């Protein structure tokens, strides 16, 4: 098990086999800075190197999940080297993609506001659980900024295209209930139950084959960019490889013997 660790701007704790990643800039509504992104990368490195972690829950301390990029930090760079702004946006995009492509299930536990980069972070999760009263939205164009962390790409894959366009072009924030209706948010719960609900879902995922989880996510992510026939062939090829795994045999044997499977991730 990973020992509990606290980075300056990101906290990592492990409950059972679940890595709980908590953004920790509450006074700034967990705004994304270079330093926070660096801590988040370090945290993901630690999770990747420890086989005890079977799922990830990401959330935020204080009143908000994440209010997006630290605009004061970006504003201070406008008159300097533009590459510093671009490097920040590239880094954020890479972190979000890393979460999306993680072999582990990723659950976002959203409360307060998830705006701009914070919204893009939630979009990178496999499942989103929200607290009552949460507000979400892209919001970039409200301040003349463009999405750069995947918002224009992922949003239209997660909600109806016309809804995505309106959200992107207006910058409007919407309550969690609307996003549940659109299919982005899985469940809305009272704030005091948010983390427990996210952990319960992550634990259900963690009981499955880690190899099966990783392969399922890999196929689902890749299939979005393939024609249907190619996607179906890719799915079949993946199944063909997986059919030789210990975990498939163990799962079918456990079903036959009417017991819980003992997966080994191989």
78: left (phi over 0), alpha (psi -120 to 50) or beta: alpha
Give the percent of the chain with pLDDT over 70.
95
Q: Which two tokens stand for residue 199?
A: 């952990």
For the chain, the domains span 5-206, 210-257
Residue 231: both structure tokens together: 């996607």
Q: Is 239 within 8 Å of 219 (Cβ atoms)?
A: no
Distance CA 127, CA 104 (A): 12
Q: How far is CA 200 from the centre of its chain?
A: 16
**Residue 254 Rama label (left phi>0; alpha psi -120 to 50; beta):** alpha
Task: Say how far apart CA 141 and CA 240 lie, in whole Å.
Answer: 46
- β-bridge partners, 215: none
DSSP 258: T
Q: What are phi and psi of 106, to 5 degrees?
A: -120, 125
Tell me how far CA of residue 62 lies from CA of 25, 66, 191, 197, 213, in angstroms: 8, 10, 12, 18, 31
For the domain made up of 5-206, the CATH class stated in words is: alpha beta
Q: Is this structure's pTM higher than 0.85? A: yes
Predicted local confidence at residue 225, as pLDDT: 86
* Cβ–Cβ < 8 Å for 51, 1: no
pLDDT one-digit tens code per residue, 229-245: 999 999 999 999 999 99
pLDDT tens for each residue of the chain, 266 residues long: 454 555 589 999 998 899 999 999 999 999 999 999 999 999 999 999 877 899 999 999 999 999 988 877 777 666 666 677 888 889 999 999 999 999 999 999 999 999 999 999 999 999 999 999 999 999 999 888 889 999 999 999 999 999 999 999 999 999 999 999 999 999 999 999 999 999 999 999 999 999 999 999 999 999 988 999 999 999 999 999 999 999 989 899 988 999 899 998 88
How far, in Å, are 157, 220, 238 from residue 233 at the CA level? 21, 13, 9
């Amino acid at each position: 098990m990973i020992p509990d660790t606290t980075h300056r701007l990101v906290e990592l704790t492990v409950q059972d086999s679940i890595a709980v990643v908590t953004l920790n800039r509450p006074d700034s509504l967990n705004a994304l800075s270079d330093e926070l992104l660096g801590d988040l990368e370090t945290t993901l490195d630690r999770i990747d190197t420890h086989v005890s972690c079977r799922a990830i829950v990401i959330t935020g301390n204080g009143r908000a999940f994440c209010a997006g990029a630290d605009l004061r930090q970006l504003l201070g760079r406008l008159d300097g080297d533009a590459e510093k702004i671009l490097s920040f946006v590239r880094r954020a995009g890479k972190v979000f993609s890393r979460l999306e492509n993680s072999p582990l299930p990723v659950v976002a536990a959203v409360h307060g506001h998830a705006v701009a980069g914070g919204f893009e972070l939630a979009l990178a999760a496999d499942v989103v659980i929200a607290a009552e009263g949460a507000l979400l939205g892209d919001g970039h164009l409200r301040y003349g900024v463009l999405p750069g962390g995947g918002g224009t790409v992922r949003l239209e894959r997660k909600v109806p295209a016309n809804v995505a366009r309106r959200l992107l072009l207006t910058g409007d924030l919407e309550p969690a209930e609307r996003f549940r209706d659109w299919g982005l948010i899985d469940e809305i719960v009272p704030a005091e139950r948010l983390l427990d609900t996210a952990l319960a879902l992550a634990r259900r995922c963690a009981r499955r084959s880690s190899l099966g989880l990783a392969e399922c996510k890999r196929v689902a992510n890749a299939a979005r960019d393939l024609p249907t026939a190619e996607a179906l062939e890719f799915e079949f090829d993946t199944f063909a490889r997986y059919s030789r795994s210990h975990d498939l045999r163990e799962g079918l044997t456990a079903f036959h013997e009417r017991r819980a499977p003992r997966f080994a991730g191989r």
